[in-house]
Amino acid sequence: MTRRSGATTGGIAVAAALAVGLLAGGAWAQQSPESVAQCLGCHDDPQLSLTLKDGSVMSLHVNPQEFARSVHGSQLVCTDCHAQYDQNHPSGATFPTKRAYVIAAYETCKKCHFDTYTRTLESVHYELVKGGLDSAPVCTNCHGAHNIQNPHEKRAMVSRSCATCHQAVYERYARSVHGKALVEEGNQDVPACADCHTHHQIEQPGTKRFRLGSPEICIRCHGDERRMAKYSISTAVAQTYLSDFHGVTASLTRAAASPASQRVVVTCVDCHGAHDMASPRLKGHAAMKATVAATCAKCHEGASPDFPAAWLSHYEPSLRHAPLVYLVGLFYKIFIPFVVIGLVLHLLLHLYRVSAGR
């Protein structure tokens, strides 16, 4: 362990005063400010570092203000996570690489977050960790170490965490109608990465199972009448998809024991995209029509540009949208009950005459 700017008695006193004075009325007031101050006596030094066996240098600096503002600042002290350093630091202890240290400290989180930890064991990330991929994330890669914020309050933080590894995907998301609303406007109604992929039990998105289940993800928001009413978006998009040929096929295929590879199964992401969703209102009617036509042509080979005109889209039939379909439906709603009631009445009258004739 090396310190590039030497620790002094004054520095320790400043750290102690910071821990007791800054935090006495808040973050660490009910903990042990003396033990925190002892650690900060050294770790408040931005130049404090550790040289690992591979020659790389790992910073050991802890920002007191960031830790105080973190979710752990009001609940934990240093040795709650770093129990091996309760008394004295091991002389000369080090790790082969930074990754080796991260993996060694990985299971520290499960002492408090056991349920969450077990969910990560079923995720695609953990499979990559087991496979030895150095870039596969563990808890601290996504949440940080000493500056952990509440992910339920800052949904944009989740997106920025994912962007560390999935930069190209995040850039497409940030340009989408959802991403702009969240990143630029701070709108908490739109989905962030974890809303679609979950926080910890992250499934491989390239599987048939995930694709067939994707409509349920979209419907969680687009089927919420209160949320959609804010933006004048009809919740009929969910029901119209589920009731048409594509939606029914997707539901039946997903329910099958072993989903077949059927080209006729079309989900929301096939037409609207996965991360680069564009608002049909902003994209324009002509551009949206061309996008839908291109999507249809993937399965319906040789389909003309006007092919989507045969589809009602997400509109329910009305006098404004598909008036002929609406009027035919209205006719049958009146005609069929009239015929059934007439038939029942005819049978009753016939039975009456038969019984009366006897």
171: Cβ contacts below 8 Å, ≥ 6 apart: 163
Q: Give the residue with greater pLDDT, 254 vs 348.
A: 348
pLDDT band, residue 345 (cuts 50/70/90): very high
91-126 pLDDT, tens digit per residue, is 456 788 888 888 888 888 888 899 999 999 989 999
Range from 17-21, 81-85, 181-185 that averages highest in pLDDT: 181-185
Q: What is the mean pLDDT of residues 32-55?
A: 83
Alpha-carbon span 106 to 322, nearest angstrom: 58
Q: Give the pLDDT confidence score for residue 19 in this predicted structure.
A: 41
Q: What is the mean pLDDT of residues 210-239?
A: 88
Q: What is the mean pLDDT of residues 29-42?
A: 69
Residue that has been written with the tokens 């497409």 in this structure: 172
- Which of 22-36, 233-247, 330-344 is least confident? 22-36
Angle at 336 between CA 333 and CA 341, to 5 degrees: 120
pLDDT band, residue 88 (cuts 50/70/90): low
Q: Give the pLDDT confidence score for residue 27 in this predicted structure.
A: 39
Positive or negative CA dihedral for 336, 341, 346, 348?
Answer: positive
User: 232: phi > 0 → left, psi -120 to 50 → alpha, else beta; which?
Assistant: left
Alpha-carbon span 251 to 212, nearest angstrom: 8
The candidate with the shortest Cα–Cα distance to 82, out of 146, 177, 148, is 146
Alpha-carbon span 134 to 103, nearest angstrom: 10
Q: What mean pLDDT is reported for the chain? A: 81
Tokens for 49?
Answer: 């570092």
Q: Give the pLDDT confidence score for residue 1 in this predicted structure.
A: 56
- Residue ranges with strand state E in the chain: 2-3, 48-51, 57-59
Alpha-carbon span 218 to 223, nearest angstrom: 8
Q: Give the pLDDT confidence score for residue 333 in this predicted structure.
A: 94
Q: Are 314 and 237 in contact (CB under 8 A)?
A: yes
Domains of the chain: which residue ranges? 319-358
